[in-house]
Chain A
Amino acid sequence: QVQLVQSGAEVKKPGASVKVSCKASGYTFTSYYMHWVRQAPGQGLEWMGIINPSGGSTSYAQKFQGRVTMTRDTSTSTVYMELSSLRSEDTAVYYCARYGPSLNAFDIWGQGTMVTVSS
């Protein structure tokens, strides 16, 4: 079945970097754009950026420009989101979400990865 499986929870110190993975299965990986969305504890959903798994092009939310890097590995159908210079405000659950072009919506979501930034 179509699914996105993310890497496990992370605990990082302020100033460090984190890299979260999202492995796709059950569909043609290069046919669907992938987005990253995060959710701080008790808060709403915040869009971070998008990657085209086919060519690797990316677009990031202005808030994260210079700190976030999204990449992909077509050989393993995996996308990655790396966030650097972590601060406590980056403590959140990070989701990858597939964008279905025929629906114009996020139709499949990963299970989420909790990233905790604490000294």
Chain B
Amino acid sequence: EIVLTQSPGTLSLSPGERATLSCRASQSVSSSYLAWYQQKPGQAPRLLIYGASSRATGIPDRFSGSGSGTDFTLTISRLEPEDFAVYYCQQYGSSPFGGGTKVEIK
């Protein structure tokens, strides 16, 4: 079973700053099966990135994904107020989700 570990657990940043979120897999993951989601309080998760680097429909270009093998990254180039949320990475398997990274306002 592949386990995804996200770091850091919490990221404290100010609007306009760059956010870099990490997702590390216990075994190699096909890039085709690595996705990122954003979740705001009281809402369902929303797909941001699929295939490790492709933005989902309607996702602003300040969000980008990269990586391969066991190390993947979600980057938010300049944080907007609406970007403060929890972010999850996901791979296709029986334990698909990482533990999440909370991006909070500093």
* Chain A interfacial positions (CB closer than 8 Å to B): 37, 44-47, 61-62, 95, 97, 100, 103-107, 109-112
Contacts and interface: CB of A to CB of B under 8 A. Distances in A.
Nearest to B92: A104
Contacts, number: 55
Interface residues of B, number: 22
Contacts of B99: 44
Contact of B50 (A37, A44, A47, A104): A104
Contacts of A46: 97
Given A104-B50, A104-B51, A110 B44 contact: yes
Given A44-B100, A45-B45, A112-B44, A106 B94 contact: no
28 contacts: A37-B97, A44-B88, A44-B100, A45-B88, A45-B90, A45-B97, A46-B97, A47-B94, A47-B97, A97-B45, A103-B35, A103-B50, A103-B51, A104-B33, A104-B50, A105-B35, A105-B56, A105-B90, A106-B35, A106-B37, A106-B47, A107-B47, A107-B50, A107-B56, A109-B45, A109-B46, A111-B44, A112-B44
Contacts of B92: 104
Contacts of A47: 94-97
